[in-house]
Structure 1
Amino acid sequence: MAGGETWRPPRLCEDYWWEWKHCRGLRHAFHHYYAHGELPACGRWRDDYEACRAWERGRAAAAQEALCKSERARVMEKQKYAPVWTLRKSPPPEWYLPLDQDKPN
Protein backbone atom coordinates (compact mmCIF):
# COMPACT_ATOMS: atom_id res chain seq x y z
CA MET A 1 0.00 0.00 0.00
CA ALA A 2 1.21 3.45 -0.81
CA GLY A 3 1.18 6.42 1.52
CA GLY A 4 2.35 5.07 4.88
CA GLU A 5 0.98 8.12 6.75
CA THR A 6 -2.55 7.79 5.35
CA TRP A 7 -2.84 4.05 5.92
CA ARG A 8 -4.57 2.91 9.09
CA PRO A 9 -4.82 -0.62 10.52
CA PRO A 10 -8.01 -2.45 9.53
CA ARG A 11 -9.03 -2.58 13.21
CA LEU A 12 -8.11 -0.75 16.36
CA CYS A 13 -5.22 -2.33 18.24
CA GLU A 14 -7.51 -2.87 21.21
CA ASP A 15 -9.76 -4.99 18.97
CA TYR A 16 -6.89 -7.38 18.31
CA TRP A 17 -6.15 -7.48 22.05
CA TRP A 18 -9.78 -8.28 22.98
CA GLU A 19 -10.04 -10.90 20.24
CA TRP A 20 -6.92 -12.56 21.65
CA LYS A 21 -8.31 -12.44 25.19
CA HIS A 22 -11.65 -13.86 24.01
CA CYS A 23 -9.93 -16.61 22.02
CA ARG A 24 -7.98 -17.70 25.10
CA GLY A 25 -11.07 -17.81 27.30
CA LEU A 26 -12.24 -21.14 28.67
CA ARG A 27 -15.75 -20.81 27.27
CA HIS A 28 -14.55 -20.06 23.74
CA ALA A 29 -11.94 -22.82 23.88
CA PHE A 30 -14.57 -25.34 24.98
CA HIS A 31 -17.00 -24.27 22.25
CA HIS A 32 -14.29 -24.32 19.58
CA TYR A 33 -13.12 -27.76 20.69
CA TYR A 34 -16.71 -29.04 20.65
CA ALA A 35 -17.40 -27.59 17.19
CA HIS A 36 -14.07 -28.25 15.47
CA GLY A 37 -12.39 -31.02 17.48
CA GLU A 38 -9.33 -28.94 18.28
CA LEU A 39 -8.37 -26.02 20.47
CA PRO A 40 -8.45 -22.58 18.81
CA ALA A 41 -5.22 -21.09 17.49
CA CYS A 42 -5.05 -17.70 19.19
CA GLY A 43 -1.47 -16.75 18.33
CA ARG A 44 -2.44 -14.86 15.20
CA TRP A 45 -4.52 -12.38 17.23
CA ARG A 46 -1.55 -11.73 19.52
CA ASP A 47 0.79 -11.33 16.54
CA ASP A 48 -1.65 -8.88 14.95
CA TYR A 49 -1.84 -6.90 18.18
CA GLU A 50 1.95 -6.68 18.34
CA ALA A 51 2.14 -5.65 14.67
CA CYS A 52 -0.53 -3.01 15.23
CA ARG A 53 1.36 -1.56 18.19
CA ALA A 54 4.60 -1.62 16.18
CA TRP A 55 2.88 0.30 13.40
CA GLU A 56 1.53 2.85 15.90
CA ARG A 57 4.97 3.33 17.45
CA GLY A 58 7.03 3.71 14.30
CA ARG A 59 4.86 3.27 11.20
CA ALA A 60 6.87 0.13 10.38
CA ALA A 61 6.27 -1.12 6.85
CA ALA A 62 6.77 -4.73 7.98
CA ALA A 63 4.01 -4.33 10.57
CA GLN A 64 1.69 -2.81 7.97
CA GLU A 65 2.31 -5.68 5.58
CA ALA A 66 1.84 -8.27 8.34
CA LEU A 67 -1.55 -6.79 9.28
CA CYS A 68 -2.71 -6.63 5.66
CA LYS A 69 -1.60 -10.22 5.04
CA SER A 70 -3.34 -11.46 8.19
CA GLU A 71 -6.62 -9.69 7.40
CA ARG A 72 -6.57 -11.03 3.84
CA ALA A 73 -6.05 -14.54 5.24
CA ARG A 74 -9.06 -14.08 7.55
CA VAL A 75 -11.27 -12.98 4.66
CA MET A 76 -10.13 -15.91 2.50
CA GLU A 77 -10.71 -18.33 5.39
CA LYS A 78 -14.29 -17.14 5.78
CA GLN A 79 -14.97 -17.43 2.05
CA LYS A 80 -13.80 -21.03 1.71
CA TYR A 81 -16.92 -22.39 3.43
CA ALA A 82 -20.07 -22.71 1.35
CA PRO A 83 -23.31 -21.38 2.85
CA VAL A 84 -25.46 -23.97 4.60
CA TRP A 85 -28.69 -22.84 2.95
CA THR A 86 -29.24 -22.28 -0.74
CA LEU A 87 -30.50 -18.78 -1.32
CA ARG A 88 -33.75 -18.27 -3.21
CA LYS A 89 -34.23 -15.89 -6.10
CA SER A 90 -37.96 -15.51 -5.33
CA PRO A 91 -40.49 -16.73 -2.75
CA PRO A 92 -42.15 -20.14 -3.14
CA PRO A 93 -45.20 -20.13 -5.44
CA GLU A 94 -47.69 -20.85 -2.63
CA TRP A 95 -46.19 -18.53 -0.03
CA TYR A 96 -49.54 -16.84 0.65
CA LEU A 97 -51.48 -20.03 1.47
CA PRO A 98 -52.11 -20.89 5.15
CA LEU A 99 -49.89 -23.51 6.74
CA ASP A 100 -51.29 -27.00 7.27
CA GLN A 101 -50.95 -26.91 11.03
CA ASP A 102 -54.14 -28.85 11.71
CA LYS A 103 -53.14 -31.88 9.65
CA PRO A 104 -51.62 -34.84 11.51
CA ASN A 105 -48.21 -35.88 10.26
Structure 2
Amino acid sequence: MAGTGTAWRPPRACDDYWSEYKHCKSLLHRFHCYYTLGEAPPCQQCKADYYTCRDWEKHQTTEAKEALRGSERQRVAQQQKHAPVWELRKKPPADWHLPLDYRNPKDS
Protein backbone atom coordinates (compact mmCIF):
# COMPACT_ATOMS: atom_id res chain seq x y z
CA MET A 1 0.00 0.00 0.00
CA ALA A 2 2.98 2.24 -0.15
CA GLY A 3 2.34 5.29 -2.21
CA THR A 4 -1.44 5.18 -1.86
CA GLY A 5 -1.45 7.61 1.04
CA THR A 6 -3.24 5.09 3.25
CA ALA A 7 -1.53 3.67 6.31
CA TRP A 8 -1.42 -0.10 6.73
CA ARG A 9 -4.11 -1.58 8.94
CA PRO A 10 -4.48 -5.10 10.31
CA PRO A 11 -6.58 -7.41 8.12
CA ARG A 12 -9.23 -7.62 10.84
CA ALA A 13 -10.22 -5.52 13.81
CA CYS A 14 -8.46 -6.42 17.05
CA ASP A 15 -11.79 -7.27 18.66
CA ASP A 16 -12.29 -9.93 15.97
CA TYR A 17 -9.15 -11.71 17.17
CA TRP A 18 -10.42 -11.60 20.75
CA SER A 19 -13.85 -12.91 19.71
CA GLU A 20 -12.15 -15.74 17.83
CA TYR A 21 -10.14 -16.58 20.94
CA LYS A 22 -13.22 -16.57 23.18
CA HIS A 23 -15.05 -18.82 20.69
CA CYS A 24 -12.07 -21.15 20.54
CA LYS A 25 -12.02 -21.44 24.35
CA SER A 26 -15.78 -22.01 24.65
CA LEU A 27 -16.90 -25.35 26.03
CA LEU A 28 -19.15 -26.11 23.06
CA HIS A 29 -16.39 -25.47 20.51
CA ARG A 30 -13.85 -27.46 22.49
CA PHE A 31 -16.28 -30.38 22.77
CA HIS A 32 -17.02 -30.22 19.04
CA CYS A 33 -13.31 -30.24 18.14
CA TYR A 34 -12.59 -33.06 20.57
CA TYR A 35 -15.48 -35.08 19.14
CA THR A 36 -14.61 -34.50 15.47
CA LEU A 37 -10.80 -34.26 15.59
CA GLY A 38 -9.95 -36.15 18.77
CA GLU A 39 -8.13 -33.21 20.35
CA ALA A 40 -8.83 -29.80 21.82
CA PRO A 41 -8.33 -26.84 19.46
CA PRO A 42 -5.16 -24.76 19.77
CA CYS A 43 -6.25 -21.26 20.81
CA GLN A 44 -2.91 -19.64 21.64
CA GLN A 45 -2.46 -18.12 18.17
CA CYS A 46 -5.78 -16.23 18.41
CA LYS A 47 -4.72 -14.73 21.72
CA ALA A 48 -1.24 -13.88 20.43
CA ASP A 49 -2.77 -12.22 17.35
CA TYR A 50 -5.03 -10.13 19.57
CA TYR A 51 -2.10 -8.82 21.63
CA THR A 52 -0.02 -8.27 18.49
CA CYS A 53 -2.88 -6.28 16.97
CA ARG A 54 -3.14 -4.14 20.11
CA ASP A 55 0.61 -3.60 20.01
CA TRP A 56 0.27 -2.46 16.40
CA GLU A 57 -2.47 0.02 17.37
CA LYS A 58 -0.28 1.52 20.10
CA HIS A 59 3.21 1.47 18.59
CA GLN A 60 2.87 0.52 14.89
CA THR A 61 6.05 -1.52 14.92
CA THR A 62 7.27 -3.43 11.88
CA GLU A 63 7.51 -6.60 13.98
CA ALA A 64 3.81 -6.45 14.88
CA LYS A 65 2.86 -5.76 11.29
CA GLU A 66 4.87 -8.70 9.94
CA ALA A 67 3.62 -11.01 12.70
CA LEU A 68 -0.02 -10.25 11.81
CA ARG A 69 0.64 -10.65 8.10
CA GLY A 70 2.34 -14.00 8.64
CA SER A 71 -0.39 -15.23 10.93
CA GLU A 72 -3.12 -14.30 8.45
CA ARG A 73 -1.25 -16.00 5.60
CA GLN A 74 -0.88 -19.13 7.69
CA ARG A 75 -4.58 -19.06 8.63
CA VAL A 76 -5.67 -18.75 4.99
CA ALA A 77 -3.28 -21.51 3.90
CA GLN A 78 -4.67 -23.77 6.64
CA GLN A 79 -8.24 -23.17 5.41
CA GLN A 80 -7.31 -23.87 1.79
CA LYS A 81 -5.58 -27.11 2.74
CA HIS A 82 -8.85 -29.00 3.04
CA ALA A 83 -10.49 -30.27 -0.13
CA PRO A 84 -14.16 -29.38 -0.65
CA VAL A 85 -16.65 -32.05 0.37
CA TRP A 86 -18.79 -31.63 -2.73
CA GLU A 87 -17.57 -31.45 -6.30
CA LEU A 88 -18.79 -28.19 -7.83
CA ARG A 89 -20.67 -28.43 -11.12
CA LYS A 90 -19.88 -26.28 -14.11
CA LYS A 91 -23.48 -26.49 -15.40
CA PRO A 92 -26.75 -28.05 -14.20
CA PRO A 93 -27.64 -31.65 -15.14
CA ALA A 94 -29.38 -32.09 -18.49
CA ASP A 95 -32.59 -33.36 -16.87
CA TRP A 96 -32.84 -30.76 -14.11
CA HIS A 97 -36.29 -29.59 -15.29
CA LEU A 98 -37.98 -33.02 -15.13
CA PRO A 99 -40.18 -33.90 -12.13
CA LEU A 100 -38.62 -36.01 -9.42
CA ASP A 101 -39.64 -39.64 -9.14
CA TYR A 102 -41.29 -39.73 -5.73
CA ARG A 103 -42.14 -43.15 -4.37
CA ASN A 104 -44.14 -43.98 -1.33
CA PRO A 105 -41.99 -46.13 1.04
CA LYS A 106 -45.07 -48.25 1.86
CA ASP A 107 -45.38 -49.29 -1.80
CA SER A 108 -41.95 -50.92 -1.89
Same fold (TM over 0.5): yes
Alpha-carbon separation, structure 2, partners of 1:84 and 1:102? 28
Give the aligned CA root-mean-square deviation in angstroms: 1.7
Matched, 1:99 2:100: yes
SS of the residue corresponding to residue 22 of structure 1 reads helix
1:33 is matched with 34
Alignment of 1:4-43 (within 5 A): 6-43=7-44
1:63 is matched with 64
Deviation at 1:34?
A: 0.9
Deviations 1:15-74 (A, max 9, x none): 111111110011110011111111000000000001001101100110110000000001
Structure 1 residues not aligned, in runs of 5+: none
43-52 vs 95-104, which moves further: 95-104
Alpha-carbon separation, structure 1, partners of 2:68 and 2:54? 11
Spell out structure 1 runs of 4+ moving beyond 6 A. none
Percent identity over the alignment is 55
2:77 is matched with 76
Alpha-carbon separation, structure 2, partners of 1:86 and 1:25? 32
Alpha-carbon separation, structure 2, partners of 1:20 and 1:91? 41
Question: When the two structures are aligned, how many residues end up with a matched partner?
Answer: 104
Alpha-carbon separation, structure 2, partners of 1:2 and 1:20? 31
SS of the residue corresponding to residue 78 of structure 1 reads helix
TM-score where L is the length of structure 2: 0.89
Structure 2 residues not aligned, in runs of 5+: none
TM-score where L is the length of structure 1: 0.92
